[in-house]
Amino acid sequence: MTAETPPPAGRAPRRLAIRGGTPRFASPLHVGRPNLGDREAFFRRAGEAFDRCWLTNNGELLVEFENRLTDILGVRHCIAVCNGTVALQMAIRALELQGEVIVPSFTFVATVHALAWMGLTPVFCDIDPVTHSLDPHGVERCITPRTSGIMGVHLWGRPCDVESLEGLARANGLHLLFDAAHAFGSARRGRMIGNFGAVEAFSFHATKIINTFEGGALTTNDDDLADRLRVVRNFGFAGKDFTEAIGTNGKLNEISAAMGLTSLDSHARFVAAHRRHYETYRGRLDGVAGIRFMEHDGGERGNYPYIVIEVDAGDGGLDRDLLYRVLRAENILARRYYWPPCHLVEPYRTRYPEAADRLPVTASVSRRVLALPTGTALAEADVHGVCDVIESAVAQAPDLTAS
């Protein structure tokens, strides 16, 4: 996939597809197209699993994958599982959470579904307008005698304000856990994500920086909690024949572990590509009216998983949803993450109608955020092509708005 050659200087820019004409890109550009490692390495590992005739239940590849994750993240324990949603459910079960858990509404709905699926009440808390993560002051206001936990989300690969959340959890006797689906390979003040709270849950879905096709992992530095998580992962079995707790089938199979190991081999290359695209977008679009970037701290270790902008129609800018339609018409499949936020989708909209009154920042941010294509499948010329479309759309904002 490559962008069109820019028109020579002096020639009028081509009309946007939303106003007629053919799309700029013949093939769609995606936000989350998978990062793929060395296929020969993957097939070699998969072949070894076939040769051993051991496809699941703590095979050699699963053990190797967990050990490598443990080393990379600097944690005591890593428990690989079949997906990130099950990881959250297992963490909730192992921590024996009850009643209410404070959680952002501005997140992928799986975060909240995991709580509801386990019979808990999600208490939606507002977010910080700059970081898009839980606002600790809002969390403090949400704590009641029924609260048993706080679930933070490391959104866009950027860590939460973990120190403030840890302080609130300690002061109120609450469990603290994190949805780290976006944050594998990121750090907070030199400490790798995976080491915070009681437990952190990662996703290795196909769209993530590291993928196992489908998969996830739980990390903790608590030995007893790690033991409980391993029991929960395997139907509640503590030994060969007898269960000691209610568990589930959360195991990661050997073929997925083979993909995970192959992804880890190329992790540095994946992150470098994502960071390069981020820097190109920033270089092209900084200063464009109505566009504000979700920034990454270049001095901190990060994984740059998403290119996230806020689009503001004020000051000569363009409405987010109009820009979204312009990009889609050009075969640029941007995403409106996370719109609508969780409290405005069913069943939460009906169950908790009062939540909207305490989430003004969530409402505002969800109307402005747009995620742009990135990843190893994207060429540098594609990034410049996306920027061309955005610049042209903003320049034509009065006409587009009136049309």
**6: confidence class by pLDDT, cuts 50, 70, 90:** very low
Contact 228, 198 (CB under 8 A): no
- Say if residues 269 and 376 touch (Cβ distance below 8 Å): yes
**Of all residues in the chain, what percent carry a pLDDT higher than 90?**
86
Bond into 340 cis (ω within 30):
yes
Question: Using CA atoms, how far apart are residues 107 and 299, in angstroms rounded to an integer?
Answer: 26
Residue 16's pLDDT is what? 61
Cis peptide before 159 (omega within 30 of 0): no
C-alpha closest to that of 151 among 350, 129, 142, 306: 142
Q: Considering the domain 267-334+373-402 in this protein, what is its CATH number?
A: 3.90.1150.10
Amino acid found at 394: V
Distance CA(313)–CA(307), nearest Å, equals 19
Kindly report, as residue ranges, where domains of CATH 3.40.640.10 are found in the chain.
Answer: 39-265
Instruction: Note the pTM of the prediction, 2 decimals.
Output: 0.92
202 in Cβ contact with 181 (< 8 Å):
yes
Residues 6+ apart with CB under 8 A from 32: 206, 207, 335, 375
Instruction: Provide the pLDDT for residue 26.
Output: 87
Q: Are 124 and 272 in contact (CB under 8 A)?
A: no
Is the previous residue joined to 337 through a cis bond, with omega within 30 degrees of 0? no
So what CATH class is 39-265? alpha beta
Examine the pLDDT at 148 and tell me if it is beyond 60: yes
- The answer to whether residue 12 scores a pLDDT higher than 70 is no
Q: pLDDT band at residue 3, thresholds of 50, 70 and 90?
A: very low
Q: For the chain, what is the mean pLDDT? A: 93
Is the CB of residue 24 less than 8 Å from the CB of residue 17? yes
Q: Quick one: pLDDT band at residue 348, thresholds 50, 70, 90?
A: very high
Place 1 in a pLDDT band, splitting at 50, 70 and 90: very low
Indicate the pairing of strand 100-104 with strand 147-153.
parallel
Outline which parts of the chain fall under CATH 3.90.1150.10. 267-334+373-402
